[in-house]
Amino acid sequence: MFSQLTSTLLVAAEASDGKFVDLGDIGSGPWIVFGVTVALLLGIDLYRHREAHAPTPREALIESTFWVACGLAFAGYIFVSFGSAAFGEYLSGYLIEKALSVDNVFVWSMLFTSMQIPVKYQHRVLFYGIFGALVLRAIFIFAGTALLERFEFLLLVFGVFLIYTGFRVLRHRDDEGDEASTTGLGLLKRFVPVTDEFDGQRFFTKVNGQRAATPLLAALIVVEATDVIFAVDSVPAILAVSREQYIVFASNAFAILGLRAMYFLLAGAKERFHYLNHGLGAILMFVGLKMLAAGIWGVHMPVWWSLAIIALLFIGAIVFSEQKNKQLEAAEGLGSTSDRS
């Protein structure tokens, strides 16, 4: 018991100098645990939503809470298996991806509205969209970590890119996804006819004896296309807080798995998050500066500092947004009172 406590304290002390965790050769065991857990959760989710229906706000809240609990439970597994430093890096990566995913949710809402996809069919599109996102993120993450190990100067490239992206998000990003939508639909129509008619939750149907894609497949292609944009933003951001492939991919995966429930919970509330873009932009700029500091001066911020700053920026955006909502509601109340008088 004493040796385990001493080991944990030593790992935490090593993390305090800001260096990234190096798990070495962890073997196949942790990857099997991760893979089986994700496969089981996806199977349960697919079974629960085997019948098309529009989730109620209560159902979305319960499921969103469940997915967050799963992500935090896996953080506990990381802590027990690899120590507090790995635990801190996992939480930092999880929080970054979760925060950036909120904007993803609103883009999906815009796309589904413009493509007139019924709410009861949206879960099926998002399920396979999330599955595709996991594969895409795995490619990005493994390629990104390999490139950073071989070409250290890419720290500067990623850092500058994240600062630029953060500045762009800070100013305005309401139209993100439009180009991907047009490109995705155009690409699909090159390979298969696309019908305007739905056939339940099917991605393909037959029109006059000819095989054709339904609007659901078109929506799936668009969702995957937009995820490319978000992966380009979020993967470099997570690589600013961890270089261990297992930690980066696990934190990213568990944050993404809860996106469907988050979508049904928040899709209609974009107007309430007045300062969301400010918070997300600030997070991206912060991690970009963190990368530049590491690449130019060799300064590595301790993981717990990074986690605290990212959490404060995200929570601050929500708090200030709620204050803005209260001010607007109070102003509307005063306006209605003066009208009556």
Q: Which of 69-78, 241-250, 298-307 has the lowest mean pLDDT?
A: 298-307
Token reading at 220: 């799936």
Phi-psi region of 207 (alpha: psi -120 to 50; beta: other; left: phi over 0): beta
The candidate with the shortest Cα–Cα distance to 112, out of 9, 218, 262, is 218
Closest CA to 238 of 98, 93, 101, 94: 93
Residue 15 lies in a domain: no
**pTM check: above 0.75:** yes
* pLDDT tens, position by position, 225-273: 788 878 887 889 989 889 899 999 999 999 999 998 999 888 767 778 8
Q: At what angle do helices 84-114 and 119-150 cross, to 10 degrees?
A: 140
Range of the domain at 96: 30-325
- Checking if the pLDDT of 182 tops 70, the result is no
Answer whether residue 238 is part of any domain: yes
> And the tokens for 100?
């950036």
Range of 4-8, 84-88, 200-204, 328-332 with top mean pLDDT:
84-88
pLDDT at 268: 66
Could you give phi then psi for residue 244, rounded to 5 degrees?
A: -85, 115
Task: Examine residue 6 and state whether it is found in any structural domain, yes or no.
Answer: no
Domain count of the chain?
1
- Asked if residue 337 is part of any domain, the answer here is no
> What is the structure's pLDDT at 185?
62
Closest listed residue to residue 15, CA positions, set 96, 84, 75: 84
In a domain, 14, yes or no: no
CA distance 174 to 273: 13
- Domain presence at residue 140: yes
| Half-sphere exposure (Cβ direction) of 230: Cα atoms closer than 13 Å | 29
